Amino acid sequence: MDTIFALATARGKAGVAVIRISGPRAWIAAEALAGNLPEPRVAGLRRLRLGAEDLDEAVVLCFRGGASFTGEDVAELHIHGAIATVAAVLQALGRIDGLRLAEPGEFTRRALENGRLDLAQVEGLADLIDAETEAQRKQALRVLSGAVGQVVDQWRSKLVRAAALIEATIDFADEEVPVDVSPEVLDLIGGVAQDIRRELGRLSAAERIREGFEVAIVGNPNAGKSTLLNALAGREAAITSEIAGTTRDVIEVRMDLAGLAVTLLDTAGLRETEDVVEAIGVRRALERAGQCDLRIFLLDQDEIPLIQPQDGDLIVHGKADLHPTEGLSISGKTGKGLDRLIAEITARLSERASGAGVMSRERHRDALIRAIGALESAQDEVLRGGERAELAAEGLRQAARALESLLGRVDVEHLLDEIFASFCIGK
Amino acid sequence: MKHFDVIVVGGGHAGTEAAHAAARMGARTALVTLRADAIGVMSCNPAIGGLGKGHLVREIDAMDGVMGRAADMAGIQFRLLNRRKGPAVQGPRTQADRKLYRLAMQGLTAEQANLEVIEGEAASFMTAGGRITGVRLADGAELPAKAVVLTTGTFLRGLIHIGDQKQPGGRMGDKPSISLADNLRDLGIETGRLKTGTPPRLDGRTIKWELLDMQPGDDEPELFSFLHRAPFVRQISCGITHTNEQTHQIIRDNLSRSAMYGGHIEGVGPRYCPSIEDKIVRFADKTSHQIFLEPEGLDDHTVYPNGISTSLPVDVQEDYVRSIYALEDVKILQPGYAIEYDYVDPRSLTQSLELRSQPGLFLAGQINGTTGYEEAAAQGLVAGLNAARVAVGQEPVQFSRTNSYIGVMIDDLTTRGVTEPYRMFTSRAEFRLSLRADNADQRLTGFGLDLGCVGETRQIAFESKMEQLASGRALMEALTLTPREAAAHGFAVNQDGARRSAFALLSFPDIALPDLERIFPDLSALAPEISAQLAKDALYANYVARQERDVEAMKRDENWEIPADFDYAAMSGLSNELKLKLSRARPQTLGQAARVDSVTPAALTLILAKLRQMKRMKTA
């Protein structure tokens, strides 16, 4: 097994940078630079040198195999975060025999291979690293702690029970087993199917937490959408001007609203137009706005929106500095009503996020849908009677397989490639 | 001194099948047994087949083996179990006349070319250079051979228990093999203990048959062999009676006198073939258990009461048996007993059932931790075929989980080992819908022909059947209905515009062959057994197609071969427990490794990574 190393912290200038080394030669390599090593799990200040070359002063930390992130011997060099320092230390490590730069995701892959994490936990870890908001962090931590495995194990044990009942009527037909097990089997299948359907419902919410909610600001040209976006984002993200139709593309601003990741979209003003470029912008705006989780309609007094608001959308009257009104009204320019609007948006999104489950990926959705399909077919066969017991059993087997794929018990190779493709070096 | 290619030790179900398989392959074969007249003896219940087991017998028959043919010749009550369920889970079974079965097996053995029976006790192995080179008999005679198949059944240090009495014995009335057991240990082969049991045998003349419900055989008997159509001898019925509260009380009162519950037995027994003591202790709320009274032969008054095996003392056996309805005056001809015997951890075997540590030595049957005649015979077939191949320097042949129950069993045994005597069930086969008793010939006879273990008679019958199936299938695929036409005939199909063939329509739950024969008169020209077979194939066609992906995935994993000297101990990521389990099971492929108990996906990935690395280094 090779010994690998990489920068574990983000690239670029920083106070501290951590370089992680993992593998059988990790301690030897660290020792080669640091002279000698502190006890495992005790930080020690060392001068890093390679030959005559002085590299940096660093805090060195060692973990013994079996008690480290990857499961192998690990050494961490906490060095100064200058780009040149990092480059020099990485280069020095590269010159040591038996060491090579880690491939993207390789530390995590080793943690998985050494049984330190299961597949869903790896995904959780990836999410945790990518987490920008509090809700994302909490969700990722739940997955990392094995919540998917627990949920799936519960389902699987029920399906195993259902399968066992059916198999008993097949393999022990000549013995004294109950002839009709269908009530309990249907109960078990129905229960799991209901749970999976509920999880599928929650998956969308969890997916939103993971990927962020999309909120579109829609309204007529020059209604002040861009001004509102900028006010919400607290910075000049969209170009604002007084000329109607300035915003021809969709402009996105990511923000953190009460722990939820939200992408605000400023769209081209909705109006009939002769201008070809603007027409494209309007069409795009309509499409995008329709797909968003929430739309904020920015309207003038008594104006009727061009597209139909969906359930839960917000209707806001703009330019409150010029025309003060009742109801939800704001001014992007003076900031009047902004707090109330933000509170409204947050309340609506939080309500949707509150139903989030532990599964949040397209891969999870696929597996759950396959499991539901197999369970429905099993259900049908059970209802058709004992003559088709082997087909009911086959449905249950397929459902169990689909669920197992969530934890990576089948098609390991394929899954891994897909999961590790989304990883960045050194994590 | 005579030289043999293959020597088979033991004349039970594993031994006879192994000897016949080797001889059919053209190997000069000797069958060494204590008594030639005991070849084909059924030591336990007088029946062959059942669920999962019937599949195995059909597969043996598809390879031109002998068990199915002998069972047909001796069958006195054929029943297709699960007749009302789908064909994938139907299992042929028959009551067999003990004497007729023995005579049939001995007759087939006498007819078989290249096969010689030698009476004697195999006492030790001849070895040279780490290989087995033959067998030494108790009288000192040496029988050199290129490969040896050992089938000891329950004889290896066999110990019979009746209550607190115990006596060494291979089965009632036969002495055990002690020196062979010692010799195995000398070779460094580790053994464990298992146990099994058998019920008392009753005198049928003292049973009040007139009071009993009788279970007849099927009106249209299904035989085992693809070469046979109808039973050979007169058919009989079995009686059914039940235990009662009084029976249970007698057993409860005497539990401490049972060998099992008195703590005299160290071996582990099968959970699915429990003694009556077990049933009463473990299912205390049941007030009655069913008993089948199975006549052991047409001109034999011995009756086998299926369901009450026991190791209680003889006087208690008499008391409880006589408490049972219609058995009040019954006479016990031979008491029930439990028997303990040595077995070898099957994880020390390759998939061809050869001991990894002793090249040239093959094991089959109960010695590998299985129970049942059919399981034993199927292993005998695998060991015999491979012993014959090894003898002429050919590569071993393997059965796969994707083509047979035999493959499922061998894979289960060699990768997972056993914790109790292993018995076949249909639920062990994940590809159960395609591995059916009815298509065993379609799955395996071609394979057998390639190997050279299938005779001419079967070849001709097989090839003609395959041709008829192919042309019948082509006909069924060519006859089609539009959805509208189908609806007009009263079939509930999706109105999706797609034409459906007669074959596709047969997979619908509510469409049967006679419905289609009315619409397409051409179908009536097919031989009834051919259209019936095609209807079975059609029923599962959609499922089988869906399973193809799983089959492919499994084959892909099976293609990753793990070298025999793969060093698990040196793999840093594996837990000590897994290292031990994998080192013991020595999976030959990644697919097998996945099925080793408690192997995690992470561990598999690690092994795969190592295999990839080794492959890279090889090609680099």
Q: pLDDT tens for residues A148-207?
A: 778 888 898 888 888 888 888 888 777 666 667 899 999 999 999 999 998 888 887 888
Question: B437 and B352, same structural domain?
Answer: yes
Whether residue A343 is contained in a domain is answered as yes
* B573: nearest CB among A114, A398, A413: A114
Question: B63 and B134, same structural domain?
Answer: yes
Question: B593 and B471, same structural domain?
Answer: no
Residues B32, B35, B37, B38, CA torsion sign: negative
Rounded to the nearest 5 degrees, what angle is found at the Cα of B484, between the Cα atoms of B481 and B488?
90
- Of the two residues B497 and B470, the one the predictor is more confident about is B470
Q: How far apart are alpha carbons B466 and B480 in whole angstroms?
A: 23
Write down the residue that tokens 């695998």 correspond to: B382
- Between chains, do B426 and A170 touch, taking CB under 8 Å as contact? yes
B572 falls in which pLDDT band (50, 70, 90)? Answer: low
* B85: nearest CB among A176, A390, A411: A390
Helix A362-384 / helix A389-407 crossing angle, nearest 10 deg: 170
pLDDT at A412: 37
High-pLDDT (> 90) share of chain B, %: 69
Question: B353 and B335, same structural domain?
Answer: no
Question: A176 and A71, same structural domain?
Answer: no
- Between chains, do B601 and A71 touch, taking CB under 8 Å as contact? no
pLDDT at A28: 93
| CATH classification at residue A187 | 1.20.120.430
Q: Which two tokens stand for residue B186?
A: 């000398």
* A386: nearest CB among B85, B289, B608: B85
Whether residue B168 is contained in a domain is answered as no
Q: How far apart are alpha carbons A67 and A90 in whole angstroms?
A: 24
Q: Which of B404, B426, B450 is the last residue of a domain?
A: B450
Query: Which whole number is the average pLDDT over B259-268?
Result: 76
Model pLDDT for residues B541-563, shown as the tens digit of each residue? 988 888 887 777 777 777 888 88
A289: pLDDT strictly greater than 60: yes
Query: Which whole number is the average pLDDT over B384-412?
Result: 95
Whether residue A253 is contained in a domain is answered as yes
Whether residue A121 is contained in a domain is answered as no
- Between chains, do A115 and B51 touch, taking CB under 8 Å as contact? no
Give the H/E segment covering residue A347: helix A338-353
Q: How far apart are alpha carbons B453 and B64 in whole angstroms?
A: 7
Edge-to-edge strand order for the sheet containing A53-63? A44-50, A53-63, A74-80, A16-22, A3-7, A99-101
- Between chains, do B572 and A388 touch, taking CB under 8 Å as contact? no
- Number of alpha carbons in the 13 Å side-chain half-sphere of residue A406: 30
pLDDT at A424: 36
Q: Looking at beta carbons, which residues of chain A come within 8 Å of B425?
A: 167, 171
Q: Which of A358-367, B90-99, B497-506, B536-545 has the highest mean pLDDT?
A: B90-99
Q: Are B146 and B360 in contact (CB under 8 A)?
A: yes
A383: pLDDT strictly greater than 80: yes
Query: Which whole number is the average pLDDT over B609-616?
Result: 74
Q: Looking at beta carbons, which residues of chain B come within 8 Å of A110?
A: 573
Question: B607 and B535, same structural domain?
Answer: no
- Between chains, do A113 and B606 touch, taking CB under 8 Å as contact? yes
Choose from A119, A170, A416 for mutation: most chain B CBs within 10 A: A170
* A113: nearest CB among B81, B546, B602: B602
The number of angstroms, rounded, from the C-alpha of B499 to the middle of its chain's C-alpha atoms is 43
pLDDT at A268: 65
- Between chains, do B546 and A398 touch, taking CB under 8 Å as contact? yes
Q: Which of A124-133, A161-170, B131-140 has the highest mean pLDDT?
A: B131-140
B42: pLDDT strictly greater than 60: yes
ipTM field? 0.83
Question: B347 and B437, same structural domain?
Answer: yes
Model pLDDT for residues B579-608, shown as the tens digit of each residue? 888 888 888 888 888 888 777 666 776 777
Q: Which of B305, B339, B373 is the last residue of a domain?
A: B339
Question: A267 and A232, same structural domain?
Answer: yes
Number of structural domains found in chain B: 4
Q: Which residues contact A2 (CB under 8 A, 6 or more apart)?
A: A23, A98, A99, A100
pLDDT at A247: 54
B467: pLDDT strictly greater than 90: yes
A140: pLDDT strictly greater than 80: no
Weakest mean pLDDT among A53-62, A119-128, A416-425, B255-264 = A416-425
With CA atoms as reference, the chain A residue closest to B611 would be: A1
Whether residue B495 is contained in a domain is answered as yes
pLDDT at A119: 67
Whether residue B160 is contained in a domain is answered as no
pLDDT at A418: 41
What residues of B are in the A interface, CB distance below 8 Å? Answer: 50-52, 81-82, 84-86, 88-89, 272, 289-290, 425-427, 430, 432-433, 509, 543, 546, 550, 553, 572-575, 600-606, 608-609
Strand segments (E) across A248-383: 251-257, 260-266, 294-299, 314-317
Over its C-alpha atoms, chain A yields an Rg (Å, rounded) of 28
Q: How far is A364 from chain B (nearest CA, A)?
A: 17
The DSSP output letter for A329 is B
Whether residue A123 is contained in a domain is answered as no
Question: B502 and B429, same structural domain?
Answer: no
Closest-CA residue to B434 (of B463, B408, B467): B408
pLDDT at A248: 56
Question: B385 and B333, same structural domain?
Answer: no
A408: pLDDT strictly greater than 70: no
A421 falls in which pLDDT band (50, 70, 90)? Answer: very low
B246 falls in which pLDDT band (50, 70, 90)? Answer: very high
Question: A103 and A16, same structural domain?
Answer: yes
Model pLDDT for residues B309-337, shown as the tens digit of each residue? 999 999 999 999 999 999 999 999 999 99
A73: pLDDT strictly greater than 90: yes
- A140: number of Cβ within 10 Å: 22
pLDDT at B267: 73
Query: Which whole number is the average pLDDT over B496-520?
Result: 91
Whether residue A398 is contained in a domain is answered as yes
- Of the two residues B552 and A272, the one the predictor is more confident about is B552
A306: pLDDT strictly greater than 80: no
Q: Are A301 and A223 in contact (CB under 8 A)?
A: no
- Between chains, do A390 and B88 touch, taking CB under 8 Å as contact? yes
| CATH classification at residue B211 | 2.40.30.260
Q: Which two tokens stand for residue A62?
A: 């060692």
High-pLDDT (> 70) share of chain B, %: 98
Residues A81, A85, A91, A96, CA torsion sign: negative
Whether residue A356 is contained in a domain is answered as no
A413 falls in which pLDDT band (50, 70, 90)? Answer: very low
pLDDT at A109: 76
3-state SS string over B19-78? HHHHHHCCCCEEEEECCHHHCCCCCCCCEEECCCHHHHHHHHHHCCCCHHHHHHHHEEEE
Q: Looking at beta carbons, which residues of chain A come within 8 Å of B241?
A: none
Provide the mean pLDDT of chain A. 79
Question: A346 and A237, same structural domain?
Answer: yes
Model pLDDT for residues B351-387, shown as the tens digit of each residue? 999 999 999 999 999 999 999 999 999 999 999 999 9
Provide the mean pLDDT of chain B. 91
Q: Which of A72, A88, A116 is the last residue of a domain?
A: A116
Q: Which residues contact B326 (CB under 8 A, 6 or more apart)?
A: B207, B208, B209, B211, B212, B239, B241
Question: A161 and A91, same structural domain?
Answer: no
Q: Are A314 and A294 in contact (CB under 8 A)?
A: yes
Closest-CA residue to A335 (of A249, A208, A224, A243): A224
Q: Which of B450, B477, B511 is the last residue of a domain?
A: B450
pLDDT at B619: 64
Over its C-alpha atoms, chain B yields an Rg (Å, rounded) of 26
Choose from B56, B606, B608 for mutation: most chain A CBs within 10 A: B606
pLDDT at B582: 87
B235 falls in which pLDDT band (50, 70, 90)? Answer: very high
Identity of residue A222: N
With CA atoms as reference, the chain A residue closest to B612 would be: A413
Question: A57 and A149, same structural domain?
Answer: no
B615: pLDDT strictly greater than 90: no
A423: pLDDT strictly greater than 60: no
Question: B316 and B209, same structural domain?
Answer: yes
Q: How far is B397 from chain A (nearest CA, A)?
A: 27
Please give the residue range of the domain that contains residue A159: 134-208+361-421
Residues B508, B511, B514, B516, CA torsion sign: negative
- Between chains, do A384 and B51 touch, taking CB under 8 Å as contact? no
- Between chains, do A411 and B601 touch, taking CB under 8 Å as contact? no
Question: A280 and A328, same structural domain?
Answer: yes
Number of structural domains found in chain A: 3
| CATH classification at residue B538 | 1.10.10.1800
- Between chains, do B89 and A65 touch, taking CB under 8 Å as contact? no
Q: Which of A350, A372, A389 is the last residue of a domain?
A: A350
Whether residue B208 is contained in a domain is answered as yes
| CATH classification at residue B606 | 1.10.150.570
DSSP states of B343-412: EE-GGGB-TTSBBTTSTTEEE-SGGGTB-SHHHHHHHHHHHHHHHHHHHTTPPP----TTT-HHHHHHHI
Question: B490 and B444, same structural domain?
Answer: no
Q: How many residues does chain A have?
A: 427
- Between chains, do B432 and A390 touch, taking CB under 8 Å as contact? yes
Whether residue B183 is contained in a domain is answered as no
Q: Looking at beta carbons, which residues of chain B come within 8 Å of A175?
A: 290
A70: pLDDT strictly greater than 50: yes
- Paired with B343 in beta bridges are B192
| CATH classification at residue A94 | 3.30.1360.120
Query: Which whole number is the average pLDDT over B269-290?
Result: 82
Please give the residue range of the domain that contains residue B533: 455-549
pLDDT at B291: 93
Model pLDDT for residues A4-45, shown as the tens digit of each residue? 999 988 877 888 999 999 999 999 999 999 999 999 999 999
Query: Which whole number is the average pLDDT over A207-221?
Result: 82
Question: A98 and A55, same structural domain?
Answer: yes
pLDDT at A425: 30
The DSSP output letter for A308 is P
Q: Are B48 and B98 in contact (CB under 8 A)?
A: no
Q: How far apart are alpha carbons A282 and A143 in whole angstroms?
A: 40
Edge-to-edge strand order for the sheet containing A294-299? A251-257, A260-266, A213-219, A294-299, A314-317
Distances (CA, A) of B517 to B492, B499, B520: 18, 18, 5
- Between chains, do A411 and B553 touch, taking CB under 8 Å as contact? yes
Question: B147 and B55, same structural domain?
Answer: yes
B455 falls in which pLDDT band (50, 70, 90)? Answer: very high
Q: Which of A299, A318, A350 is the last residue of a domain?
A: A350
Whether residue A355 is contained in a domain is answered as no
Question: A387 and A291, same structural domain?
Answer: no
Query: Which whole number is the average pLDDT over B407-414?
Result: 94
Weakest mean pLDDT among A270-284, B6-20, B69-83 = A270-284
The DSSP output letter for B560 is S
Whether residue A412 is contained in a domain is answered as yes
Edge-to-edge strand order for the sheet containing B47-49? B47-49, B91-96, B75-81
- Paired with B192 in beta bridges are B343
Question: A271 and A344, same structural domain?
Answer: yes
A1: pLDDT strictly greater than 90: no
- B494: number of Cβ within 10 Å: 10
- Of the two residues A423 and B148, the one the predictor is more confident about is B148
B485 falls in which pLDDT band (50, 70, 90)? Answer: very high
Q: How far is A382 from chain B (nearest CA, A)?
A: 12
Question: B12 and B147, same structural domain?
Answer: yes
pLDDT at A415: 37
* B86: nearest CB among A1, A387, A411: A387
DSSP states of B175-238: --B-HHHHHHHHTT--EEEEEEEEPPEEEGGGS-GGGSEEE---SSPPPS-TT--S-SS----E
